[in-house]
C-alpha cells in the first residue's frame, strides 16, 4: 500500500528556497528520494514552491520570511494562518497516513491537539532546544506524536519531555554529494568562507576578528536578519536595527569588515554559493551555540572543503578531526587551524559526504521512522 505523507514545510520560504533556507533545503533534498521509494507526498508550503510533489496545500502566495522582522504576534499570526490551512485539509480528507512536520513548536502543538482520529505526526526538531524547553512544554498527542532529532547531540540536549517522544535522529544530507557535476573538484582559491545566517550563535564576529588577526581572507555569506543584500540593509536605515541580528552585525561584525580582507557578500545561492564554498580553503564555523544539524557543514564536505569549527553541537558527529576538518574547544585557536586546514585532503571530505550523507540514506531512515511512528513505537 502506498504511504501518503503530508510534509509541512511552513510559510516562511518556498521549497526549494531561493537562497538561504536550512529547513527548506532539507525538505527539497528529502522529498524526491521519498517519492523514488514510492511515498506519495502532499506538500504544505507556499504557492511559489516549485518542488515536484504529488499534491500541494498553500495559504500564502509566496514565502513570508520578511514577516519574521515584524512583532511576535504578527509572526504567530502568519504561522497560525498557515496551520489553519493544514488542519482544514487534514479534517477534509482521510488519505493522509502521517504528517511529517518541520514547523516550530506552535505547529506541533496544533497538530498534537487534533485528537485521536487525526493522522500520526513525526516532528523533526531543527533547533537547539536546551535553551527553550518552554517551546514544547507539555507535549500532548500521546502515541500519535513523535519527534526526531537531526543529530545525537541535539537529542541529548533536548528537554526530557521531548526525548520521551523521540524515535531517534537522522543526520542531514545534501544532494551535492551525489551530483557529480555540481561537486566536481574545483581549484582552491585563497579565501575562507563562513556560510550561514549572520547571528551571534554562528559567530561571524569571532571569525572576522580572527581573519584580521591571523591574516586570512574571509568571505561572510548569508542574510543579516531578513536582509539578503548589502544594499537592501543599507537602504533599510535605522529601523532595521530593531532586528537583533542587524544590531549584532553593525555592532560586532561590521567593525572587522573592511571589504578587502573581510567581506560580507549577502546571501549567495545556487552555483554561486557552491563555487564560493568549493573554491574555499576551508569553511569556518566559529560556533557559539550547539549547532543542531549543520546543513552547511555537510554541504561543505560534499563540495570538498574541509571544516574548521569549535567542537560544538553536532560538529564532532559530522567531522573527523584531522581528516575532514579541524575542531577545537578553544575559540582563539581557530585562526591557527584555518591556516593548518590547507593540509587536509578535499577528496577525503567528498568521500565522507558520499558515504554518510546521501539523500537516499536520509530518505530510507525517514521511512523507517515513519513505520515506527505509525506502529506507536516509543524507543529509538
Ligand atoms: N545558505 C545559502 N546561502 C547563504 C547562506 C546559507 O544558500 O548565503 C544555505 C546553506 O547552504 C544551508 C542553509 O542555508 O543549506 C543553512 O542551513 P544550516 O543548517 O547550516 O543553518 P541554520 O538552519 O541554522 O540557519
For residue 21, the CA-to-ligand 1 centroid distance in Å is 5
- Ligand 1 center to residue 28 CA distance, Å? 13
Over residues 53-75, mean pLDDT: 85
Mean pLDDT of 267-293: 95
Distance 24 CA to ligand 1 centre (A): 10
Give the pTM. 0.91
Is a pLDDT exceeding 80 seen at residue 131?
no
| Ligand 1 contact via 293 beta carbon (within 6 Å) | yes
Nearest CA to ligand 1 atom 23: 22
Scan for cell 521511512, then name that residue.
367
Mean pLDDT value across the chain: 91
pLDDT at 20: 86
Q: What is the pLDDT of residues 346-376, one digit of tens each?
A: 999 999 999 999 999 999 999 999 999 998 7
pLDDT exceeds cutoff 60 at 79: yes
Ligand 1 centroid from CA 22, angstroms: 5
Q: Give the pLDDT confidence of 84-129 residue by residue, as tens digits.
A: 999 999 989 999 999 999 987 666 667 767 777 789 989 999 888 7
CA 304 to chain CA centroid, Å, is 20
The mean pLDDT of 75-92, rounded to a whole number, is 88
| Residue 132, pLDDT score | 67
C-alpha distances in Å from residue 82, one per residue of 21, 43, 312: 18, 12, 34
Q: Ligand 1 pocket, 236 CB below 6 A?
A: no
User: Residue 114 corresponds to which cell in the numbers above?
Assistant: 487534533
From 12, 24, 25, 124, give the residue whose CB has the most ligand 1 atoms within 8 Å, as the site to mutate: 25
pLDDT confidence of residue 327:
98
> How confident is residue 162, by pLDDT bands cut at 50, 70 and 90?
confident
Pocket test for ligand 1, best of 289, 296, 362 (most atoms within 8 A of CB): 296
Indicate if ligand 1 lies below 6 Å from the C-beta of 224.
Answer: no
Share above pLDDT 90 across residues of the chain, in percent, rounded to a whole number: 73
Asked whether 175 lines ligand 1 (CB < 6 A), one says no
Q: What is the pLDDT of residues 189-202, one digit of tens each?
A: 999 999 999 999 99
Mean of pLDDT values over 238-250? 94
Q: How far is the centre of ligand 1, averaged over its atoms, from the C-alpha of 25 (Å)?
A: 8
CB of 219 sitting under 6 A from ligand 1: no
Residue 253 in this model has a pLDDT that exceeds 60 = yes
What is the reported pLDDT for 236?
93
Centroid of ligand 1 to alpha carbon of 268 (angstroms): 10
Of 1-15, 30-44, 141-155, 270-284, where does mean pLDDT reach its minimum? Answer: 141-155
Task: Tell me the C-alpha distance between 349 and 341, whole Å.
Answer: 12
User: Which pLDDT does position 106 carry in this prediction?
Assistant: 61
Residues in the chain: 380
- What is the Å distance from ligand 1's center to 195 Cα? 7
Cell of 325: 576538518
Amino acid at each position: 500500500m502506498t504511504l501518503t505523507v503530508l510534509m509541512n514545510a511552513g510559510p516562511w520560504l518556498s521549497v526549494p528556497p531561493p537562497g538561504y533556507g536550512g529547513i527548506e533545503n532539507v525538505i527539497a533534498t528529502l522529498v524526491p528520494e521519498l517519492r523514488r521509494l514510492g511515498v506519495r507526498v502532499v506538500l504544505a508550503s507556499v504557492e511559489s514552491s516549485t518542488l515536484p510533489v504529488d499534491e500541494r496545500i498553500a495559504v500564502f502566495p509566496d514565502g513570508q520570511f520578511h514577516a519574521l522582522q515584524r512583532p511576535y504576534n504578527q509572526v504567530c499570526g502568519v504561522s497560525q494562518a498557515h496551520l489553519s490551512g493544514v488542519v482544514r485539509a487534514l479534517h477534509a480528507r482521510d488519505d493522509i497516513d502521517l504528517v511529517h512536520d518541520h514547523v516550530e513548536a506552535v505547529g506541533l502543538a496544533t497538530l498534537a491537539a487534533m485528537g485521536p482520529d487525526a493522522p500520526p505526526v513525526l516532528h523533526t526538531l531543527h533547533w537547539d532546544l536546551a535553551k527553550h524547553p518552554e517551546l514544547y512544554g507539555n507535549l500532548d498527542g500521546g502515541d500519535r506524536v513523535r519527534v526526531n532529532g537531526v543529530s545525537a547531540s541535539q537529542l541529548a540536549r533536548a528537554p526530557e519531555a521531548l526525548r520521551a517522544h523521540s524515535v531517534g535522529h537522522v543526520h542531514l544530507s545534501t544532494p551535492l554529494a551525489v551530483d557529480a557535476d555540481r561537486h566536481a573538484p574545483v581549484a582552491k582559491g585563497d579565501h575562507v568562507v563562513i556560510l550561514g545566517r549572520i547571528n551571534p550563535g554562528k559567530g561571524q564576529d569571532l571569525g572576522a576578528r580572527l581573519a584580521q588577526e591571523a591574516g586570512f581572507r574571509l568571505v561572510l555569506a548569508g542574510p543579516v536578519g531578513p536582509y539578503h543584500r548589502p544594499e537592501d540593509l543599507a537602504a533599510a536605515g535605522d529601523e532595521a536595527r530593531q532586528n537583533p541580528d542587524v544590531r549584532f552585525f553593525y555592532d560586532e561584525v561590521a567593525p572587522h569588515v573592511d571589504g578587502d580582507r573581510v567581506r560580507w557578500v549577502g546571501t549567495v545561492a545556487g552555483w554561486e554559493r557552491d563555487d564560493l564554498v568549493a573554491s574555499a580553503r576551508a569553511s569556518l564555523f566559529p560556533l557559539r551555540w550547539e549547532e543542531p544539524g549543520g546543513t552547511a557543514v555537510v554541504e561543505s564536505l560534499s563540495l570538498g572543503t574541509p571544516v574548521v569549527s569549535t567542537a560544538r553541537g553536532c560538529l564532532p558527529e559530522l567531522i573527523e578531526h584531522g581528516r575532514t576538518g579541524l575542531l577545537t574547544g578553544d575559540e582563539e585557536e581557530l585562526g591557527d587551524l584555518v591556516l593548518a586546514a590547507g593540509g587536509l585532503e578535499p577528496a577525503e571530505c567528498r568521500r565522507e559526504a558520499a558515504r554518510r550523507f546521501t539523500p537516499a540514506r536520509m530518505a530510507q531512515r525517514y521511512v523507517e521512522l515513519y513505520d515506527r511512528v505509525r506502529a506507536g513505537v516509543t524507543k529509538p
